[in-house]
């Protein structure tokens, strides 16, 4: 109950302090680049609705200019000897593979509690999130401070959640939204600026990097899973996994040389554990499967 109150309070604050986009554009607090990105949001939404068949909502018609940092911290956990996500059940959405917090301190308290249960735990930061149509989700300042490619991808990602969200199927929901966000961003920027524009090229490179990273991660998790499914003892698995972690991070230094963007440049920089890997895998492990079926998913 305490957690639900925290989540509801944070959501109310985010919405309460939001103002219409038109009003934000009249203030002196935004840079020219921020204004240009803010004006682009309506066009991104229109493209998502008309070209990708995404649901029309009143989301992103307001912006919270006080939200300087990412509005949500996520806490994910996994057993140390299995590639399994700890999930939490909530009304409407069912089981979800992470807890969201509007305050870092609360996220750290939850991490400490889970770690005391001998769990691998990781705290992440969400650039945006969707309330699945229950509220009018506002834009946040961090969304328009990033790149235009990131903004486009994020808007289409969250619109996908509002359009299709299978209760208790976090891996499917995030995998699909990741694909539609990235592919949709490329298609939108291509149709808006042309194939040779730097933004279109960047979006295409993001897709290429995603495919390379996803293939590497999928293969790595398959090998790690074989260790966890072996008859070795718990302690032996923990010892062996550290060797596998180190080997993959060494291999990844070579993979990074092939990446064309900085999307995955910090992968593993703070070390690896199952919670971190499953959190990353939630979005990226099965990208190749969604990639093959993209046009089936987005047909209006």
Q: How far apart are CA 188 and CA 169, in angstroms?
A: 28
* Beta strands at 62-64 and 139-140: parallel, antiparallel or unpaired: parallel
- Give the Cα separation of 87 and 6 in Å (integer): 18
Is the distance from CB of 97 to CB of 278 less than 8 angstroms?
yes
Question: Averaged in consecutive runs of 10 residues, what is the pLDDT profile of the chain (300 residues)?
Answer: 57 74 90 93 97 93 74 91 93 82 91 97 83 77 90 95 89 93 97 98 97 96 97 97 97 95 94 97 92 61
CA–CA dist 163, 59 (Å, integer)? 12
CB 127 within 8 A of CB 16: no
pLDDT on residue 156? 97
Distance CA 227, CA 247 (A): 14
Contact 83, 278 (CB under 8 A): yes
Q: What is the pLDDT of residue 300?
A: 46
Q: Are 127 and 143 in contact (CB under 8 A)?
A: yes
Q: How far apart are CA 229 and CA 226, in angstroms?
A: 5
Buried b vs exposed e over 241-270: b needs ≥16 C-beta within 10 Å? beeebeebeeebeebbeebebebbeebbee
Q: Give pLDDT, residue 207.
A: 96
Helix or strand holding residue 75 (H, E): strand 72-79
Helices in 52-147 by DSSP H: which ranges? 104-115, 141-145
* Per-residue pLDDT at 165: 87
């Amino acid at each position: 109950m305490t957690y639900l109150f925290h989540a509801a309070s944070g959501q109310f604050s985010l919405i309460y302090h939001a103002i219409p986009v038109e009003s934000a554009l009249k203030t002196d607090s935004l840079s020219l680049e921020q204004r240009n990105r803010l004006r682009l949001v309506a066009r991104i939404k229109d493209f998502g609705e008309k070209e990708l068949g995404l649901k029309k909502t009143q989301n992103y018609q307001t912006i919270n200019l006080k939200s300087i940092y990412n509005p949500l911290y996520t806490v994910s956990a996994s057993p140390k000897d299995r590639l399994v996500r700890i999930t939490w059940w909530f009304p409407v959405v069912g089981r979800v593979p992470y807890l969201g917090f509007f305050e870092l301190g609360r996220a750290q308290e939850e991490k400490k509690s889970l770690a005391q249960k001998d769990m691998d735990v990781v705290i992440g930061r969400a650039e945006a999130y969707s309330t699945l149509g229950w509220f009018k989700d506002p834009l946040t300042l961090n969304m328009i401070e990033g790149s235009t490619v990131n903004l486009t991808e994020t808007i289409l990602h969250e619109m996908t959640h509002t359009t299709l969200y299978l209760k208790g199927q976090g891996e499917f929901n995030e995998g699909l939204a990741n694909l539609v966000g990235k592919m949709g961003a490329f298609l939108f920027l291509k149709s808006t600026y042309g194939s040779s524009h730097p933004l279109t090229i960047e979006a295409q490179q993001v897709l290429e990097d995603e495919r390379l990273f996803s293939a590497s991660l999928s293969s790595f998790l398959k090998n790690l899973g074989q260790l966890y499914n072996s008859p070795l003892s718990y302690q032996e698995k923990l010892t062996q996994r550290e060797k596998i972690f180190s080997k993959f991070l060494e291999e990844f230094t070579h993979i990074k040389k092939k990446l064309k963007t900085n999307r995955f440049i910090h992968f593993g920089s703070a070390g690896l554990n199952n919670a971190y890997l499953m959190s990353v895998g939630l979005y990226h492990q099965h990208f190749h499967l969604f990639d093959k079926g993209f046009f089936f998913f987005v047909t209006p």
